[in-house]
């Protein structure tokens, strides 16, 4: 099956969000998920990519539902990584 095409600019923007969350430790659950994923054997870049998937999913849900950011939903999805919430 062919991988879906992604917008490189959007991907870079989401990875920048992940980098900012890690640098600022806000929310701290992003750093916790990142460190856990690395301890479980993921590379640093793969851990960031997985977290970026959660960020993208949350952005989608916020826009689709036209509701504010849901911290609990975001943290729950981070805690399930490397499994994706839609799997």
Predicted TM-score (pTM) of this structure: 0.88
pLDDT in tens, 3-62: 556 788 888 999 999 999 999 999 999 999 999 999 999 999 999 999 999 999 999 999
For CA atoms 19, 26, 30, 8, the dihedral sign is negative
Whether residue 27 has a cis bond before it, omega within 30° of 0: yes
The confidence score (pLDDT) of residue 4 equals 56
Which helix (H) or strand (E) segment holds residue 21: the answer is helix 8-24
């Amino acid at each position: 099956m062919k991988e879906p095409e992604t917008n490189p600019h959007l991907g870079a923007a989401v990875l920048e969000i992940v980098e900012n969350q890690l640098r600022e430790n806000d929310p701290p659950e992003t750093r916790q998920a990142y460190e856990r994923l690395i301890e479980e054997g993921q590379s640093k870049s793969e851990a960031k990519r997985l977290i970026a998937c959660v960020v993208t999913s949350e952005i989608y849900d916020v826009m689709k539902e036209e509701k504010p950011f849901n911290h609990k939903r975001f943290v729950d999805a981070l805690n399930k990584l490397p499994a994706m919430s839609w799997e």
